[in-house]
Structure 1
Amino acid sequence: MTTKFDLDDFDRRLLELLKNDARTPVPDLADAIGLSAPACYRRIRRLRSIGAIEGEVAVVAPGALGWNLSMIVLLTLEREGNRTIRELMAQWAEHPQVVECAHVTGDYDFAIRLLARDMEDYADLVQRLFSDDDRVRQFKTLVVIGEARQHRSKKAA
């Protein structure tokens, strides 16, 4: 689903800077885009209110919380219906080990990003989420070896 926002060049540059580091002080942001600090602050408030800024979070290394394995699960349903898709996405979104879930086109119905403490934890997780669900025809797991993360702050890297 795509949402259209009424943004100008200042807004887009501001969003790009905030995407890289949401902790950047407003005066620094204002200097970088060529506005006064109060004008920049008003724009940030507006961007939050219209939903262009959905939230601000700490990007925590999964290993710091004991999630040492990252996997991508490609999943196919027995039958792809709107109700089933909504139910499964809601169910998976509630699970803390599911960090991303996308309904996709092509050979698979879903691409799901999972975290697990170890292989035993992973086996228990996929048994509960996928193997025991009659709506799931099959799934394939890809273990992530390494990754480049776009949302990591340049200051923190």
Structure 2
Amino acid sequence: MGEFSVRTSAFTHGEAIQTKFTCEGDDVSPSLTVGDVPDDAESLAVVVDDPDAPTATFTHWLLWNLPPDTVEIHEDVPQTETVGTLDGAVQGTNDFGELGYRGPCPPEGDGAHEYRFTAVALDETLDLDPGAKRRDLDDAMGGAEIASARFTGTFER
């Protein structure tokens, strides 16, 4: 078995994120591919954030309770509490105050920001209500994390 991974075919790790996936474009989530999930995982979570935001790390997407056998997270996940096409995975509230994915949208003229797409393998299914915020998800994942994987992209306006 290889190393737990998450990636996208939409852009290259560490390179610019296509406008389609940002506030300047269609603002839809890119497709993600998950690989080599640990055998003892009970669920997966995805967090997308911007550590370069002016005041504090800005959260763009919270998604959890994905089945451990998830291989593909399709493009343009709807902004709903639960996602039927992902076996009822649950979405939280991003720092825009909305449910689901909102893409990179740094302040104009602030230079390139790095966006982190992190997948987390958990040894349990989280008992967390839809719409939960980042702090609640972080607390719930607390001691349940088995492994994590990350890729990044950049965007500037």
Superposition TM-score, scaled by structure 2 size: 0.24
Larger Rg: 1
Between Structure 1 and Structure 2, which shows a larger proportion of strand residues? Answer: 2
Superposition TM-score, scaled by structure 1 size: 0.24
Higher RCO, Cα 8 Å, sep 6+: 2
